[in-house]
């Protein structure tokens, strides 16, 4: 499916399939982007995924969805930054799948997750790593561990408000 889309819509690695998302008000936040890349967001499940990615070049699909949602919805950093980072760090990187996955997370691709579906990193952690085994394997939470770089509830409100600029709803 992803290869089919890339073949018929060769612009998608650089532009959203859904053209209305060209108007989306992404945030230019190099500090937030770097915190996400380094696994220093203050959200343990996000940080564990990003640490695993950096150290092994791989992460489970559920964690890919969590970290992608965090980047594009909590931080409102363009999916293009996430796609570039995954392309550079994943050992199983595939242009078509990477593009489709990131557009799915951002809500701007074919068969995309609705933009209003915003993963809550805390509830995802409780659901998928309640004993924190995964987190404790990848993240050291000592005196240097950061406080959360965003308030998820506020970030969610801002993301939904930004969506209205695209949809008018």
What pLDDT digit, counting tens, does each position of 21-41 carry? 999 999 999 999 999 999 999
The answer for residues whose C-beta is within 8 angstroms of residue 6's C-beta and 6 or more apart is 12, 13, 95, 96, 99, 100
Rounded Cα distance between 33 and 10, Å, is: 26
pLDDT at 113: 62
Quick check: 89 pLDDT over 90? yes
pLDDT at 3: 95
Average pLDDT over residues 55-72: 98
Quick check: 112 pLDDT over 70? no
Quick check: 111 pLDDT over 90? no
| Percent above pLDDT 70 for the chain | 98
What pLDDT digit, counting tens, does each position of 129-164 carry? 999 999 999 999 999 999 999 999 999 999 999 998
Q: Tell me the average pLDDT of the chain.
A: 95
pLDDT at 21: 92
The boundaries of the domain holding residue 136 are 2-167
> The domain that contains 58 carries what CATH number?
1.10.579.10
Rounded Cα distance between 78 and 103, Å, is: 10
The domain tally of the chain equals 1
Average pLDDT over residues 37-52: 99
């Amino acid at each position: 499916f992803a290869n089919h889309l890339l073949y018929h819509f060769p612009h998608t690695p650089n532009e959203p399939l859904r053209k209305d998302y060209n108007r989306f008000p992404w945030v230019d936040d190099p500090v937030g982007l770097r915190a996400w890349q380094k696994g220093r967001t203050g959200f343990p499940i996000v940080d564990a995924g990003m640490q695993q990615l950096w150290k092994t070049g791989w992460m489970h699909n559920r964690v890919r969805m969590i970290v992608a949602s965090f980047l594009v919805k909590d931080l409102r950093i363009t999916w293009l930054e996430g796609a570039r980072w995954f392309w550079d760090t994943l050992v199983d990187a595939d242009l078509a799948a990477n593009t489709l996955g990131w557009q799915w997370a951002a809500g701007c691709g074919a068969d995309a997750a609705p933009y209003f579906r915003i993963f809550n990193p805390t509830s995802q952690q409780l659901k998928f790593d309640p004993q924190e085994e995964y987190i404790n394997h990848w993240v050291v939470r000592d005196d240097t561990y950061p406080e959360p770089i965003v308030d998820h509830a506020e970030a969610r409100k801002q993301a939904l408000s930004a969506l209205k600029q695209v949809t008018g709803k």
